[in-house]
Amino acid sequence: MTAGGRNRVSRSRREARAGLAFIAPALALIAVFFVIPVVAGFLLAATDFDIYAVGDPATTRFVGLGNFATLLHDPVFWKALGNTFYFVLVGGPLSVAVSLGAALLVNARLVRCKGLFRTVYFAPVVTTMVAVAVVWRYLYHPRFGLLNQLLALAGLGPVNWLGDPRWAMPAVILMAVWKNFGYNMIIFVAGLQSVPATIYEAARVDGAGPWQQFRRLTLPALRPMLVFVGVITMVGYFQLFTEPYVMTNGGGPLNATLSIVMYMYKQGFRWWNIGFGAAVALVLFLIILVGTLVQLRLQKGRE
Amino acid sequence: MAAGDRPTHRLATPSIGCRWGALAAGALAGALLAACGDEAARKTKLQFWALGREGEVVQKLIPAFEAANPGVHVEVQQIPWTAAHEKLLTAFAGRSTPDLAQLGNTWIPELVALGALEPLGGRLAKSRVNPRDFFPGIWATNEIDGEPYGVPWYVDTRVLFYRSDLLARAGVKRPPRSWEEWRNGMRSVKALPGGEHYAILLPTDEWAQPVVLALQAGADLLRDGGRHADFKEARFRTAFEFYVSLFAERLAPPLGNAQVANLYQQFADGYFAMVITGPWNLGEFRRRLPADRQGDWAVAPLPAVTETDYPGVSLAGGSSLVVFGASPHKDAAFRLVEFLTDARQQARFYTLTGDLPARAAAWDDPALAGDPKLQAFRTQLEHVRPMPKVPEWERIATAIAEAAERVILGNQTEDRSLDQLQIEVDRMLDKRRFLLDRKSGGGGR
Amino acid sequence: MRRWPALVGLHLALGIVAVATLLPFLWMLSASLMPAGEASQWPPSFLPSRPTLENYRALFHRLDLGRCFLNSAFVAIVSTALALLIVSLAGYAFAKLHFPGRSRIYRALLTAMVIPAQVAMLPLFLLLREVGLVNTYWGVIIPALAPVFGIFMVRQYALSLPDELLDAARVDGAGEFTIYRKLVLPLLRPILVTFGVFSFIGAWNDFMWPLIVLTDDRKYTLPVALANLIGEHAQDIELMMAGSVLTVLPVLLLFLVLQRTYVEGLTMGGVKE
């Protein structure tokens, strides 16, 4: 072997050693603090590990799929499931639509101070959800809240936003959309800017109106972004927790804002039905997985 | 390699320096924070969890204890009632329980079943705390299988707080004595002219009110030694129907605690004329209601189902002081328990909070004996019924409130709601049934 | 000209959305400066009658929120610093260092991203309990130190580093760690700043996990303290608003100062997916 060859071999071995060493801290952390708990979660979901077991593990019983059976028979679980889907299927598209609208506004050619508007629209995204939920809890107050005052100016009656089972979830959705429309907007703006203005010029010369330009030019250009934004938003929205926790003390009127994660938190960390809570978490995982695959499949089908 | 090939080297130092600098700053801050906490490291540090308003106020009593016990430093952590049960269980599950805590006496069976509390029989025998000084019904709530696990700190029961001026204006001459009289009185108050108002506030997310009504009707709530739910029987149904009808008639607003912006403000405004609440609100009402309203409110024992049974029973509630089994300072913690349950401290605590002393002797203190509003509580305390002493009580009580909420706020019928409640609670008691049967199957009981 | 109506209409729409976006914050600020009870008066007022700092004083003196502010700062800074180290090492290694199983491990990590954190939470709590990390700052910090999304970000960026530079350093006899420290880190600076900002803001705003892990109110981070406050002080709107302002201000300021980097980082992640 030539000297260069020997160097190359020892170099690649050195590189390999370094590579493994560099990823070791991350992998160790992920293994210990994520992989092991996830596996344990699967195991716990098959037991009735609860607060008695926390004190005395010998009282644990193996229940196989029993937790899932209980889950399917619990009307509160179905309510939580329904609420979460309500939030995702209404809030998700609404959030994406508002973000797209804002992106189109901000990106329009005639706009001055683009940066300023972008900053303003993005500000709610970085703020702490708890603080925002606290503020909106008071904005929604039936008597003194700002929202009902504005409605009164328009001559509309006061709405018991967080106390009425019909309005509680829409109230949460409105707040969630307000909070993160800026995030998706930024991504859309980047996508819009990747379309050169000359293409629009050509289309206008060809006689295409603004709506046709939008449908034929803008939307296709934004397709990859829409998929990304859609999946990210959906996954995030399925994990709804902080808003119901702060704004409606957990479940809301008639559990109208009880989400799956909130249900898991109550069962697991409030009542310490750990086995049952683990089962709920697995159901959440399954839902997110299926939802993601469905979205990706839909997008692939359209192409 | 030419020297000019690595211009980026210049940028290296500030960037890396920045990062390690941040790390060092963080570590320093952490060390400082840790150090600050260990100031009194040489003393015995007691962690004392106190709940709600008591948590804020008890801090005032601590200096006297620390003066009398120079080796001990007490750290009071104040926890809101709404989060207390959860935090206690979390602390137990996470092995981070405090040394001693204030505990609602309905939670004692639960924590004893988990093995979290230190049995106090031995320590009590050697101390100056005498069980006979306390209201017997209250002391009993602290005993599990004959062993005391807590010392009653203050007693709590629920009575009727009402706007005497509004009731008078509605033609209600005396506080109601029967459910019938009560309902008629509420209708009269509701019929008064004026803006939107109600007769009584019954927060839909509270379980105390429906449970009290059930106890008044004679329902047991559970049967077979707490193994099964018993919500479909006639007495519970009567109480449940009465409670729910108050909302159907719009005598009570369909609001939960979260939607009531300011209880005191709205009571003063006459938004509602009655509320069932406890002794801590004596102090709060005096503090928070405007001066010109202080003459317009009064307190009375609860009405009973029929007038002959007046006054109706109420909750045998209250808080006890408990010591946790995992505490490394049990003796010091017990000394604090003795101190706080001393008759003089109890009287002093009363003046600060309005909480009623569990020790009968403290009631003779002029501060209490001279207060007319306290008579209602004194009377009521002689008519209290305990709640089922099962560890699952907190969950069961929450489920009862939710069952009522489903009928009040939604359109579920009472039958469906009670069916669902029955099934839910039976399921909650499943583990208890299993453990009890296992214990008796082992030839123990 | 023909463009006037479009111009005005456009800016009007933009303005309305801006007002709708800012209104909650403005009310939050305004109410925090109101004396106690004024926010729940009838008829309600938008501006304080006489601005006062009493709510902020109460937060710091009576309720010890200054301590929670420091807790949040400590957790966020330490989290960010350590995560930067771990993530930059791993991201660079996945991009530029050849070792057996590299692509398989990386793909496994990416698929792990699909699993929501909630699946791990309950067992993770029990695990922390066994090692005595419940109710400690480290119990909050450690589980979040190796975010796969961060590794992804750094790797994407590191892929564009010139191999020749690295090879030249190797020929010069530099060890791998030295190459990382002296050559790679400075080159990664832009993405590290972006990730650092994400990480800091994320750690500052984190709610569910600190809520679960911390039981001692002196260790609470701001979001948990704020949620706790509402349990006892739901009636005191002005106080709660002051607490919200305190929680929101640092991340808002950080964002305003570093917004360009933050936004760049977002779009890079989105476009290059």
Nearest CA-CA partner of C262 in A42, A182, B357, B280 = A182
Answer for the pair A128, C222: CB distance below 8 angstroms, yes or no: yes
Taking residue A76's Cβ as centre, other Cβ atoms within 10 Å add up to 18
Q: Is the pLDDT of residue C44 over 90?
A: no
DSSP state letter for A158: P
Answer for the pair B290, B365: CB distance below 8 angstroms, yes or no: no
Q: Is the pLDDT of residue B20 over 60?
A: no
The model's confidence at residue B33, banded by pLDDT at 50, 70 and 90, is low
Q: Helices in C33-64 by DSSP H: which ranges?
A: 54-61
CA distances to A117, A284, C230 from C117, in Å? 34, 10, 26
**Which residue type is seen at B371?**
D
CATH 1.10.3720.10 fits C56-271, yes or no: yes
Task: State the smallest CA–CA distance between residue B176 and chain A in angstroms.
Answer: 30
HSE (CB half, 13 Å, CA atoms) of A52?
A: 21
C87 touches chain A (CB under 8 A): yes
Which strand (E) or helix (H) includes residue B77? Answer: strand B72-79
pLDDT in tens, B73-115: 999 998 888 788 888 998 998 888 999 999 998 899 989 988 8
Average pLDDT of the residues of chain B: 85
Residues of C in contact with A261 (CB under 8 A): 118
Nearest CA-CA partner of A250 in A89, A80, A49 = A80
What sign does the CA torsion over B84, C229, A123, A257 have? positive
Which of C73, C125, C217 is closest, CB to CB, to B94?
C125
8 Å CB contact of B256 and A51 = no
The model's confidence at residue B298, banded by pLDDT at 50, 70 and 90, is very high
CA distance C221 to C125: 18
Q: Is the pLDDT of residue A121 over 50?
A: yes
C167 touches chain B (CB under 8 A): no
Number of A–B residue contacts, CB under 8 Å: 63
Interface test with B, best of A254, A263, A265 (most B CBs within 10 A): A254
Task: State the smallest CA–CA distance between residue A140 and chain C in angstroms.
Answer: 11
pLDDT in tens, B232-273: 999 999 999 999 999 999 999 988 887 777 788 889 989 999
The model's confidence at residue B171, banded by pLDDT at 50, 70 and 90, is very high
Average pLDDT of the residues of chain C: 87
Look at residue B22 in the predicted model and tell me its pLDDT. Answer: 52
Tell me the domain boundaries of chain B: 44-157+316-371, 159-219+236-310+397-408
Residues 258-277 of B with CB under 8 A from C: 258, 261-265
Which of A51, A75, A163 is closest, CB to CB, to B256?
A163
CATH number, domain B44-157+316-371: 3.40.190.10
Nearest CA in chain A to C139: A33
Q: Helices in B58-106 by DSSP H: which ranges?
A: 62-68, 81-93
Taking residue A93's Cβ as centre, other Cβ atoms within 10 Å add up to 13
Residues 149-188 of C with CB under 8 A from A: 151, 170, 175-177, 180
CA distance B413 to B427: 21
Q: Please state the ipTM of this predicted complex.
A: 0.86
What sign does the CA torsion over B98, B104, B110, B112 have? positive
Q: What share of chain B has pLDDT > 90, as a percent? A: 47
pLDDT in tens, A257-287: 999 999 999 999 888 899 999 999 999 999 9
B22 touches chain C (CB under 8 A): yes
Answer for the pair B353, B60: CB distance below 8 angstroms, yes or no: no
Strand duo B198-201 + B272-277: pairing: parallel
CATH 3.40.190.10 fits B159-219+236-310+397-408, yes or no: yes
Q: Is the pLDDT of residue B40 over 50?
A: no
Average pLDDT of the residues of chain A: 87
The model's confidence at residue C136, banded by pLDDT at 50, 70 and 90, is very high
Strand duo B100-104 + B44-51: pairing: parallel
B78 touches chain C (CB under 8 A): yes
In CATH terms, are B44-157+316-371 and B159-219+236-310+397-408 the same topology?
A: yes
Residues of B in contact with A271 (CB under 8 A): 89, 395
**Largest distance between two CA atoms of chain A:** 90
What average pLDDT does range B189-197 have in this prediction? 90
Look at residue A284 in the predicted model and tell me its pLDDT. Answer: 94
Look at residue B381 in the predicted model and tell me its pLDDT. Answer: 84
Chains that touch B (3 or more CB pairs under 8 A): A, C
Strand-pairing partners, residue B103, are B320
Task: State the smallest CA–CA distance between residue C190 and chain B in angstroms.
Answer: 11
Tokens at residue C86, please?
């771990």
C47 touches chain A (CB under 8 A): no
Tokens at residue B113, please?
């079943």
> What is the pTM for the complete model shown?
0.82
CA distance A122 to A180: 8
Q: What share of chain A has pLDDT > 70, as a percent? A: 96
CA distance C88 to C106: 14
Tokens at residue A186, please?
């930024």
Q: Is the pLDDT of residue B213 over 60?
A: yes
Higher pLDDT, A190 or B298: B298
Nearest CA-CA partner of B386 in B222, B149, B148 = B222
Look at residue B101 in the predicted model and tell me its pLDDT. Answer: 96
CA distances to A127, A135, C205, C220 from C248, in Å? 5, 11, 9, 16
Look at residue C169 in the predicted model and tell me its pLDDT. Answer: 87
Look at residue B17 in the predicted model and tell me its pLDDT. Answer: 45
Q: Is the pLDDT of residue C236 over 90?
A: no
Answer for the pair A286, A173: CB distance below 8 angstroms, yes or no: no
C243 touches chain A (CB under 8 A): yes
Look at residue B348 in the predicted model and tell me its pLDDT. Answer: 86
Residues of C in contact with A127 (CB under 8 A): 25, 205, 248, 251-252
Look at residue C24 in the predicted model and tell me its pLDDT. Answer: 93
Token match 């993530």: residue?
A: C87
Look at residue B53 in the predicted model and tell me its pLDDT. Answer: 82
pLDDT in tens, B338-353: 999 888 888 888 888 7
DSSP state letter for B178: B
Interface test with C, best of B33, B45, B79 (most C CBs within 10 A): B33
B325 touches chain A (CB under 8 A): no
Q: Is the pLDDT of residue A212 over 90?
A: no
Look at residue B14 in the predicted model and tell me its pLDDT. Answer: 39
8 Å CB contact of C14 and A281 = no
Q: Is the pLDDT of residue A184 over 70?
A: yes
Which of C85, C134, C168 is closest, CB to CB, to B1?
C168
Look at residue A26 in the predicted model and tell me its pLDDT. Answer: 94
Output the CA torsion B405→B408→B409→B410 (10° steps). 100
8 Å CB contact of C78 and B91 = no
Q: In sequence order, what DSSP letters do the residues of B117-145 get, joined into one string?
A: BPP-HHHHHTSS--GGGB-HHHHHTTEET
8 Å CB contact of A126 and C251 = yes
Strand duo B44-51 + B72-79: pairing: parallel
Q: Is the pLDDT of residue C45 over 80?
A: no
Answer for the pair A41, A278: CB distance below 8 angstroms, yes or no: yes
> Which residues are within 8 A (CB) of C65 and not within 5 positions of it... i.e. 6 or more apart?
C59, C222, C225, C243, C246
Q: Is the pLDDT of residue C22 over 70?
A: yes
Q: Is residue C259 packed enough to be buried (19+ CB in 10 Å), middle (13-18) or exposed (0-12)?
A: middle
Look at residue C271 in the predicted model and tell me its pLDDT. Answer: 43
What average pLDDT does range C95-110 have in this prediction? 90
8 Å CB contact of B409 and A165 = yes
The model's confidence at residue B23, banded by pLDDT at 50, 70 and 90, is low
pLDDT in tens, A9-39: 677 888 888 889 999 999 999 999 999 999 9
Task: State the smallest CA–CA distance between residue B30 and chain C in angstroms.
Answer: 7
